[in-house]
Amino acid sequence: MSRGNSTSLHLVAFLLFLGGTGYLCYSGFSENSIYFLNVSEARAVSADKLANVRLFGTVSMTDAERQTGDPAGIVFRLEDKDNAAQAILVRYAGAVPDTFRPGAEVIVEGGMGRDGRFTAKTLMTRCPSKYRKENRKG
């Protein structure tokens, strides 16, 4: 095999490697990219763009109810932290954290349904202040 053919072969192999690596990076980032929005930002976007997002807000002081027939699920209003008039109805079918209560700051991950409700796959609450070191005794 001549030196020119060897160099061409190495160049083709290197370009295939770069192309494969680039494709894997692109597909990994595009599949795992999730927008993180507050409620006001989410309400300003069309519902079709809210297929896979994380929303941050505060659980409304009213309208939180357990789903009938499913002791683990809950339906509640998620309000914008800075503007309580901006709210989205959220339906969650999993186990509800112990720290979930009206006024709690939560993050929900999921998508907006055709019925105008946000269907959450994940529900996370922010730790209450009683767990902070400066508020503990001893």
Residues 18 and 38 occupy one common structural domain: no
Look at residue 24 in the predicted model and tell me its pLDDT.
Answer: 75
CA-CA distance, 82 to 85, in Å (whole number)?
A: 9
Residue range 50-59: mean pLDDT, rounded: 89
CATH number for 100:
2.40.50.140
Asked if residue 34 lies in contact with residue 76, where contact means CB atoms within 8 angstroms, the answer is no
Structural domain count, the chain: 2
Residue 75 to residues 16, 30, 45, 92, 119: CA-CA distances in angstroms? 50, 30, 22, 6, 9
Residues 118 and 84 occupy one common structural domain: yes
Percent of the chain residues topping a pLDDT of 90:
16
Its domain, for residue 4, covers: 1-33
CA-CA distance, 116 to 90, in Å (whole number)?
A: 9
72 token code pair: 């683990």
- DSSP-assigned beta bridge partners for residue 120: 92, 110
Confidence of residue 136 (pLDDT cuts 50, 70, 90): very low
